[in-house]
Structure 1
């Protein structure tokens, strides 16, 4: 009989048999270790939660009264003899990779991550390990992000042009993570920054644990010339809704990694799409995996088939993990308030071919 792996993959989620806890489980369990507060990773119904303070505050906002213990980055917690610690994932404020150590073996569950700094989230920290569980949402070479500063400069120019023409600027961005990332890079000298209620609720929660976000105004308090110069941050589902129509003449845009694919912009009817993602691009994924020094890599939610083949071509022992981590359809833009999952769902767009991966 072989030794039981440190982490196993079950119908409830990623399980540590030695410690008897789960990481980001999608069905109710007694003890859940949570990487971040998006709804596909932090679900209701668990007996006890362990998370970073930033993740815990948003979970309490989303899930109500829950039993949640907090651990800071790098702080070791022992669960039934297994050592667990959180390390920055760079995905959204408070997001973490989970390092699990027992019997001289180390596994790391990345959750969702990005390796490029965004000026708000805690920067990604590569962790040495024997086995690494990695997302690959954007695991094709076609996905390569520009620096955050360049994208934000483009957004500010677009806003300034609209303000000069007397048009309200509306950006659809996920209420947890993406909206705050855009907010942190805006130039408030252009005009007022207005946050949809779902976005502002997350802003308040994050400000409460020390994240420095620029001030935002309420729509009810912004009228006339001020509104025509404003930039409005709203969840994707609110753009084009009855709520948005009361803004008057407007210019709409979407902030998403999927904006790299022209067909999605066409289907959404958006003339403007800003390519900005809270997930690693192809280069970020491959660099992160190399930095772990892991021999075994398991990939989940994304272009798992071609990315696994690339890993095997590079000499890794690679596998695909089936999970229930999933976000809104990229070309629909449905939104569920502050607890949406982000950019996960794959588009059915032929521009992003699923063929062999080559650097």
Structure 2
């Protein structure tokens, strides 16, 4: 700490510049935290919070490693009931204010983990910051370890921590099992730092909420798993859940495409015939692409594209196979682009051959 810091404090106090005074005090607290005087740093931050000098705005906090995420306009999640109940449980746990504040969301890509984290922050009425791994990870030996320590220092210094959620999105980048990494010693140092900082966060800050997401839970470091208060599994979509999500996306998207005929029944039948529906993230892109790439001069082209994405190439599937899959003559007509009489005639011939 320099003499200028003290002079600034006096100057801002005399000028009654509360915002600048608070920022200077935070800067001093960060200095003491950096040199290891954690108790004094925490005491200064406590005084700032208790004095209620300034109600922070989301844009006030700036950081090299923490980026604010806009959560003002979010789409509905359409999560399965079991996962929705767990999200409500997280909200309840945080509101109990007893230090249960670290949560790990695990599941396949596209299962809704990141969007769920955004909704949690919104429901809690908190500002959401995401750790920027692009700046955190460094090729220099030992620098990533130092950056992780720095980002936790910044997290601990955020004023009004009861108004903040920190998201470690796809934390696999720094948290995979140490025995599965090429540089075991370097990964060990990184993981040890994360463990130490999470433990310290638990001791110093019971109000800030930490959410991490992972697509690779089976490879996640076991010691790190134990640092989280709850683990939410997002791999719990039934086919009916996915059909409901798909129908929501379809209805939301198709209204933006003029001249494209809407056939929700055939849309849903194609999804039901599909043996393996992808999770919402990928499913959303497939539906959007099917509509966006469709030829407006070819009626129901988007349904043909959807079938090709989810089941197989329509060019290689004959009418009898479609009929066996449960499609009606009228539906086959739409998918194959042939007249009703042609479809009926081909089916009749096929039946005669089979007899």
Higher helix share: 2
Higher strand share: 1
Which structure is larger by alpha-carbon Rg, 1 or 2?
2
Q: Normalising to structure 1: TM-score of the pair?
A: 0.26
Q: Normalising to structure 2: TM-score of the pair?
A: 0.26
